[in-house]
Structure formats: C-alpha cells, structure tokens
C-alpha cells in the first residue's frame, strides 16, 4: 500500500498518504473524530500536508452520504489556485524586479485595513467596469440566497471581487524548468465566502442544539440531506465557489495587464493549469456510489486532470497531473501544509530569518509576514514524494516575485 491505514473504533478507517511527513497528534485526533461521524462513506483520505484545522483537519478528503458538515468545508469557501504560462523567458524580465512587484500590488487590492471610518485597503473603493461585469453574472444567485438569508446581504461581496486578501494568499511570478515565466495566484471567496461559511456553521449548530453534546466536537454539526438548510447551504456554497473562481480570473487578468506595463517584451499568456479549488464540496461518483466529497485543503486529481500544488514563499511549486487514484477519492494535497501556528512562527522567527529564507525572491520582508516564513511549512519535496501515487509532476516552478496580503 502507498498509504498508512489507521483503523478507528466505532468509525470508518483513515487512509493517510503521509510517508516520512510529520503529522501532529492533535490532527490525528481531529481526523478520528470526523471518521466517527455516522454518514462517512467508506473511509477518510488524508493528504501529506495534513494539519489541525477548525472543525475538520486541513489536508483531508471527507466523503459523505446524506449529510454535509459546513465547518469541514470551512469559511474560505472555494479557496484555490490559478496559474498562467506566458511566452516570456527569464531573460525578458527586468534585472530589478521591484517595479514588477509594485505594479502588481497597485493592480490588485490586497491586505486588510481595520478601523472605523477607514476604507479597507484590501477592497475596491470604486470597482472597475471589469469587476461590475463579472458581478453581474453573480448577482441573480446572490439575490436568491440573500432573500432567504438577509444577514448575508451587507457583506464584503462586490467590492471584494478581484482582490487577494491576507494570510497565505499570494500572487507570484515564477520560472519553470525551461525558464518560462508563469503567473500564479492563490485566493478564494473573500469576505462574502467567510460570511456564508460562518452563517451556515452557526445554523448547523443551532439546528443540532439538542444533540450537539453527543458530537465529538461542536464544529462537526451537520445538515441532513432533505432539510431546508441543507439545500440552502449547497446553493450558497456553490455560489461562493463560483465567486472564488471568478475572483481568481479577474486578478489574473489584472496581473497580466500590470506586467505588460513593466516588461518591454510583448507576450501572451494562457491558462495551462486549471483554475482549481482546494476548499470546497461537490457531488461525485466513487466506488459506484454518488457521494458528497468535501476537500478541505485538497485538490481534485482525476486521471489526466491538471492541478497546482504550491510550496511556501521560499520553496518550489508544482503543476501536476492527476493519476486518478480511487483510494484517495482522486485527490492530492493543496500545498506543503503548516508545521506550526502563525503565532508560533511569529514567536520563533525574526525579520532577519525571513530575509535569509527569501533572499532569492522579490517580496516583502517585514514583521507582518513572518507568519508565512518558509520554515513554518513542511518540506514540499517530502510532501510530493508521499503522494507520488496520486499525481505526476508536469512543471516545477521557482518563484522570483511574491506579493502577500
């Protein structure tokens, strides 16, 4: 077997593609709790980037029948990756990449400003026409959802479309093994997706109020199929996933336009890797049965399907092709996976450590990004080796520019 098997008393087994990759005890306990839910189908599949998450473990694939766990999907609904290969070569890039980084930072709102009366720097003040055109395709579905759940109406929605966010979200300029230039980015459904996730997690806990004490964890509260909130959640989460996909598409368009303003060499760009989610749920058929597959920090890796597995901001990333491994429910990891919390990274490392770890990358090197230091993540090479039966590497990318929120 290319996976480790963890049998669970009073639950379904757990299959873990974690050879030579550390797994924290708290994450194992969280996986066991999830595996004991009565509607898990066959087994859980665990990816090598697995680590503790809210409700359910990040880096896990959770197949269910007859129920859905909103906290397993999480609040960054539809978070994922997009990559575009260009006709540029490394030699076409300017010697000093600072101007390219600042052009991208001007073109895509990023970060977050908190404070009464202050505009959030991570949102649009007045969204451009391209954003309004994209929002028009989302408005009908949003209106239908907010008619039933009015609290979701006054959220960061239209003004967050085409924006990056904070945390581990990023935009990168990368070089592949042939020195071709790629643009790559990572983001999701922003403020509105967060609001949808939290709202339905709360509804699930409220609906199960009489039974919630019997759950291994209150964040495993679920909606039973056939209930009103189940149908509402499926519709809302599908809409948020569409928002996330369009969000990445808009950002990529703006990144390419910004680069054209800095790079003298004319170029074209095509999306070579799919615009892929790694925090989402969808109906799929596995082992002859229709199931709801929740991928929390995992990517679909159907046979022949392209995906993106990023490393940390100082390591390599990979464009991969799925091998269609059914035991993993045709999935792979969504990245390297953290080895420590953000607070622990801030305690352990300094700005000088960040500067050394990212010396080869044009990026921010200040106290506000220490939580994203490469040493806070697992070894991406070990992660890739552990999932060698899930995907094959098509391209290896090394970042030269990184924009963080």
**Residues belonging to the active site:** 334
- Residue 310 labelled as part of a binding site: yes
Which token pair is 383? 């992660």
- Residue 335 labelled as part of a binding site: yes
- Residue 311 labelled as part of a binding site: yes
- Asked if 250 contacts 237 with a C-beta cutoff of 8 angstroms, the reply is no
- Residue 307 labelled as part of a binding site: no
- Other CB atoms within a 10 A radius of the CB of residue 228 amount to 11
Residue 142, CA distances (Å) to 49, 119, 163 in order: 33, 24, 18
- Residue 153 labelled as part of a binding site: no
- Residue 325 labelled as part of a binding site: no
- Residue 337 labelled as part of a binding site: yes
C-alpha closest to that of 43 among 23, 17, 78: 17
- Residue 279 labelled as part of a binding site: yes
- Asked if 174 contacts 188 with a C-beta cutoff of 8 angstroms, the reply is no
Helix (H) or strand (E) holding 5: strand 4-6
- Asked if 362 contacts 97 with a C-beta cutoff of 8 angstroms, the reply is yes
Which token pair is 118? 């202050």
287's torsion region: left (phi>0), alpha (psi -120 to 50) or beta? left
Residues 128/133/138/144 CA torsion (nearest 10 deg) = 100
- Asked if 222 contacts 135 with a C-beta cutoff of 8 angstroms, the reply is no
- Residue 229 labelled as part of a binding site: no
Strand extents, DSSP E, 188-315: 223-224, 269-277, 279-286, 289-296, 298-300, 306-309
- Residue 171 labelled as part of a binding site: yes
- Residue 169 labelled as part of a binding site: yes
- Residue 170 labelled as part of a binding site: yes
- Residue 186 labelled as part of a binding site: yes
Determine the 3-state secondary structure of 289 from DSSP: strand
Determine the 3-state secondary structure of 216 from DSSP: coil
Determine the 3-state secondary structure of 134 from DSSP: helix
184 backbone dihedrals φ, ψ, rounded to 5°? -140, 140
Determine the 3-state secondary structure of 175 from DSSP: strand
- Residue 336 labelled as part of a binding site: yes
- Asked if 299 contacts 332 with a C-beta cutoff of 8 angstroms, the reply is yes
Q: Based on the number of CB atoms within 10 Å of its own CB, is 43 exposed (0-12), middle (13-18) or buried (19 or more)?
A: buried
Which token pair is 93? 């890039």
- Residue 150 labelled as part of a binding site: no
Pairing verdict, β 44-51 and 14-16: parallel
Binding region:
76, 168-172, 186, 278-279, 310-313, 317, 334-337, 404
Binding region for Mn(2+):
76, 169, 186, 278
Binding region for GMP:
168-172, 278-279, 310-313, 317, 334-337, 404
């Amino acid at each position: 077997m290319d996976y480790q098997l963890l049998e669970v008393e009073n639950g379904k087994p757990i299959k873990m593609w974690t050879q030579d990759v550390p797994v924290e005890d708290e994450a194992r306990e969280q996986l066991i709790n999830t595996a004991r839910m009565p509607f898990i189908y066959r087994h859980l599949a665990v990816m090598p980037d697995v680590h503790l998450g809210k409700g359910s473990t990040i880096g896990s694939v959770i197949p269910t029948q007859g129920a859905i766990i909103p906290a397993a999907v999480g609040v960054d609904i539809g978070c994922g990756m997009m990559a575009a290969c260009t006709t540029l070569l490394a030699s076409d890039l300017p010697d000093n990449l600072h101007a390219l980084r600042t052009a991208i930072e001007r073109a895509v709102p990023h970060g977050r400003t908190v404070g009464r009366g202050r505009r959030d720097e991570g949102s649009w003040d007045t969204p451009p026409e391209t954003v309004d055109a994209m929002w028009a395709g989302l408005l009908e579905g949003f209106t239908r959802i907010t008619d039933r759940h009015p609290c979701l109406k006054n959220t960061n929605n239209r003004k967050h479309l085409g924006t990056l966010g904070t945390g581990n979200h990023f935009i990168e300029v990368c070089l592949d093994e042939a020195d071709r230039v790629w643009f790559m980015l990572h983001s999701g459904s922003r403020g509105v997706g967060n609001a949808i996730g939290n709202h339905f997690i709360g509804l699930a806990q409220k609906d199960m109020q009489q039974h919630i004490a019997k759950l291994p964890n209150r964040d495993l509260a679920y909606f039973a199929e056939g209930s009103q909130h189940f149908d509402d959640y499926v519709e809302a989460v599908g809409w948020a996933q569409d928002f996330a996909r369009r969000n990445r598409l808009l950002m990529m368009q703006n990144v390419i336009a910004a680069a054209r303003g800095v790079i003298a060499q004319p170029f074209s760009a095509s999306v070579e890797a799919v615009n892929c989610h790694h925090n989402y749920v969808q109906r799929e058929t596995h082992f002859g049965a229709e199931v709801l597959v929740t991928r929390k920090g995992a990517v679909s890796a159907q046979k022949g399907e392209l995906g993106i597995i990023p490393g940390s901001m100082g390591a390599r990333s990979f464009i991969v092709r799925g091998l269609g491994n059914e035991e993993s429910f045709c999935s792979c990891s969504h990245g390297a996976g953290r080895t420590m919390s953000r607070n622990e990274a801030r305690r352990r490392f300094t700005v000088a450590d960040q500067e050394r770890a990212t010396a080869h990358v044009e990026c921010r090197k200040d106290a506000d990004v220490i939580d994203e230091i490469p040493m806070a993540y697992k070894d991406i090479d070990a992660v890739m080796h552990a999932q060698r039966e899930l995907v094959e590497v098509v391209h290896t990318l090394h970042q030269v520019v990184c924009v963080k929120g």
